[in-house]
Chains A and B, each alone.
Chain A
C-alpha cells in the first residue's frame, strides 16, 4: 500500500467520510492522519454499521465486573475470582493465509484477556469452511487447525473445545473465531483508560514491522475477491514464544502493581490502542515513533502507527514505578520502550523525534465516528442456493443415520482436537468430545467448583431463519452448559455476516441481533462483549449469517459430572427438556439437497424452564450420561452416546422420520439407573443401554462398530482424498 497512490477511497473511506474528517480536524488531514482515520473509522474498529444495533443487547447483570467496551468482558465467579472472556474473528486473514491467520487469531484473543489482568486458561474455536470435497476447503481447514494448534500449544493455554461446520457458502470466506477465557483475582483486574498527565507510555513486546499494515481496513472491512493473494502482506505473522514471555511479564507487572493501565495492540496497531486508551481516560497522548523498536529501519511514521505486528502491548506507568517496571521486563526478556506520555491535550500527537507529524483530536478517532443506520429489507426469495443432494429420497433410516454420522459437520472431530493441547494448566475436567461443554476446575486457583465453557452457532439454520436461528444458538450454548450442570454467567458473541450495506444482509443482521436479545433476556444471561465481522462475502455471494455465541458458566461440584457416552448396560435412557423435532433446517434435509425457508417458532419461556430442569437433574449427581440433541437429531445423539460409551442401546420411539432425525433446540438424552431416570422431573424413558448395536424398534439396527467407522473415518478419509 503506498499512500501517494492511495487517496481516501483507496483506504476505504467514502467522500462524505473524508469531508467529515476535514470538518473534525478543521483542515485537511496529512497522509499519516488520513491513514490513522482510515483504520479507526473502518467497520472493524468503529463498528459503524453495527453499533446502533448492538445497543439492543442486554448488558446488565449482577455478576458483571466489566461489560462491553473493555478489552474483554469479566464476570464474578466467587471466591474472589473473576473470569474474563471474549470471542473474536480472524476470518479474512485466515481466508488469505490460513496458518498465520488462525494462529494470530488465537494470539490476538489471548492478549485481550491478559490485557484485563487475567491469566488465559482456555481457548475455544468456532470454525467454518466449505465442503471437504473442495481442495481449497481442505487446505484452509487443515492449515487453520495447524495454526491454532501452533499458537495455543506453544503458549501453554489449553484448547478445550469448539466446533467446526462445513457448508458451501464458506468456500471462499472461511470463518475462524477464537474465544479465550481467563482467570484473575478480582483485585488484579485492570482497565485500559490512560490516566495521569505525565505518566509514561511504554510499548512492550515484539519489534514493529511492516506486517499487517492495513489489516483492519483493506482486509477485514471489505469483501474478498480475486487476487487476494496480493493481500498476504496484510496478514500478520505470529510468534507464540514472544507472547508467552509477554503474558508472564504483564501478569507479574500487575501482581506487583507497577501499571496504571494496560491495552493490547490489535487491529490498527498503535493508532487504535493509543487512541482508545486516551479516549477512555479522557486524556491525550504524545507518541514519538522514532523511539519504537523496528524490524526494518526505513519505516515511515504512518507505517509505524498502523502496523499490526503481533505480540505487543501498550501500558501506562507512573514515573516513580518506571524503573521497577523496566527491570521486570528485562528479567522476562521482554523488550520495553518508553515511547511517549499521557497529556491533557485530548489529542493524539505523533512525533518523529522533534517533528510533529500528526495531531488528531482523540474524540474524532474514537467517540465521534459516523454511525450508519442499516436499511434492512427482507428478501423476496432465497439468498442461497440449495446444497447439493447427497442421498436419495428413498434412503432407509439406517442409510440416513450412517450418512449423517459421516457428514463432516456431525462426524467426529478427533482429527482436530488431538492436534490441540487440551490439558495444560491441570484444570481440564472434561476434555473435548467427552462432554457437551468443557469443564475447568477452579481449585488450582483456590476457588471452588468449576467453570464450564461452550461456543455454538449453526449458520445454516440462521440462514433458514435469522431470528430463530440466533435464538437457537443461545439455547444450544446454554444447554451445553446445563449438560454439565453449569449456570451461565455471561455471553460473548461474534457476529459473522456479509456486507451490511446490502439490504438483505442488513435484514439478517437485524433479525439475528433481535433473536440474541430475546434469548438473552429469556435466560437472564447478559452480553459482556463481543465482536462483529462483516463483509464476509466472496464472488459467489455472502456466507451463511453466523452469529457465534460463547458462554461461561459456573458449576458447584466437578467430581461427578455426566459424560456424553453411555456408561453401562442396564441404564435407562430418557429424554428431558423441550423437544419438538422438525425436519426443516435439519442436516437430513441438507443431505437431501434442501434449505428450509423458516424454522418452527419457539416458546422461549418453556425453553428457559427446561434448562433449569436439565441443570437440576445433572446437579443431582445421579446422571452418568447427558448429551444434547443437536445436528442429526435424536438418532445421531443416541449414536454418539453409543460410540463414546462403546456400548449399544435399545430404543422405542413414535414412528416417523422427524422423531429420529428432526432437529430443534431443547432436547437432552440422559441415562442412568432406571429408578433415578424415572424420578427425573419431566423425563420420558425411551429405552435401555446394552448390547453392541443401536436398535430403534422396527426402524433400524446398526452395530456400534459400524456407527463408529462412519463417525470416526469421515474427516480423515476426506482429507486423504
Chain B
C-alpha cells in the first residue's frame, strides 16, 4: 500500500500528512507540475493555501497538471482524501458535492473539535464504528460547508461535528463528506494533526489506518 501526498506551491500540511501516512503505509510526495501519480494506491490532497488561494480557495489548484491525473484516478475508483484545502480543491474539481464558504465568524479558527463518524462504510472510516467520536483539530478560514437542497444525500455525510463543536457554521454540522462511490472523501478537520497523543490526539490516525487496510 502506497500513499501519494500532493504538494502544491503554498501547501502547508503536506509534510505533516506525509508523516501521518508513513505511520501506516509507504508514502511519497507528488509534485503539482507532474502528471504521473507514480503508481500510488491512494492520494491525499493536503491542507494549506495552494497557489496562495488567490482568486478563490482551491480554484487554481484544481487546474494543476497533477490534479488532472488525480481526477482521472478518482473517476476510476481510486481512493482520494482531501483535507481542508484539499477538501476545497476536490469540491472545486467537482469530485465532491457542495462548497466551502467563509466561516460564520469571518475569522480563521484553530481549535480541537470532536467529530462523530456517521458513515463507517467508506475506505476512510472502515476502521471506525458509526457513532464513534474522534478528537481532531480544525484550522481554516473557509470551512463552512454548504450544499444545495438534495445535493448531499445522508449516506454521503461521513463525519459531523459533535453537538456544540461546529467551529464554522457548516450546514447540519457536516464535517466530512464523500462522493456517491465512497472512494473520494473531503473533511475540514486535520486528521494528520491527530496521529500522536504527544501533540494532542491519535484519533485522526484511524482514517489513515482505515485507508491502509484497503487491499492494494
**What residues of chain A have their CB less than 8 Å away from a CB belonging to chain B?**
146, 149-150, 153-156, 239-242, 244-245, 332-333, 417-429, 431, 441, 444, 558-559
Contacts and interface: CB of A to CB of B under 8 A. Distances in A.
Nearest to A142: B107
Contacts of A155: 12
Contacts, number: 88
Contacts of A240: 49, 52
Given A426-B19, A426-B193, A559-B198, A241 B12 contact: no
B108 A421 contact: yes
B47 to A, nearest CB: 8
B52 A241 contact: yes
A422 B112 CA distance: 11
B10 A421 contact: no
B130 interface: no
Q: Tell me which of B12, B53, B54, B193 has the highest count of chain A C-beta atoms within 10 A of its own C-beta.
A: B12
B198 A244 contact: no
B205 interface: no
B111 A418 contact: yes
Given A244-B10, A421-B110, A429-B198, 18 more contacts: A146-B107, A154-B12, A156-B12, A244-B12, A245-B9, A333-B9, A418-B109, A418-B110, A419-B109, A420-B110, A421-B108, A421-B139, A422-B110, A424-B16, A426-B196, A427-B199, A429-B199, A559-B198
Nearest to B139: A421
Contacts of B137: 423
Nearest to B48: A156
B50 to A, nearest CB: 9
Nearest to A244: B10
B84 to A, nearest CB: 10
B9 A154 contact: no
A558 B198 CA distance: 8
Nearest to B49: A154
A149 B53 CA distance: 15
A149 B108 contact: yes
B192 interface: yes
A156 B13 contact: yes
A444 B51 contact: no
Contact of A244 (B9, B20, B110, B192): B9
A419 B200 CA distance: 18
B199 A426 contact: yes
A-B CB proximity, top 9 nearest = A241-B52, A156-B12, A426-B16, A421-B139, A154-B49, A419-B108, A423-B193, A149-B108, A241-B10
Contacts of A239: 52
A240 B109 CA distance: 18
Contacts of B54: 241
Nearest to B109: A418
A154 B192 contact: no
Contact of B9 (A332, A423, A427): A332
A419 B49 contact: no
A240 B48 CA distance: 12
Interface centre among B16, B19, B53, B195, by most chain A C-beta atoms within 10 angstroms, is B16
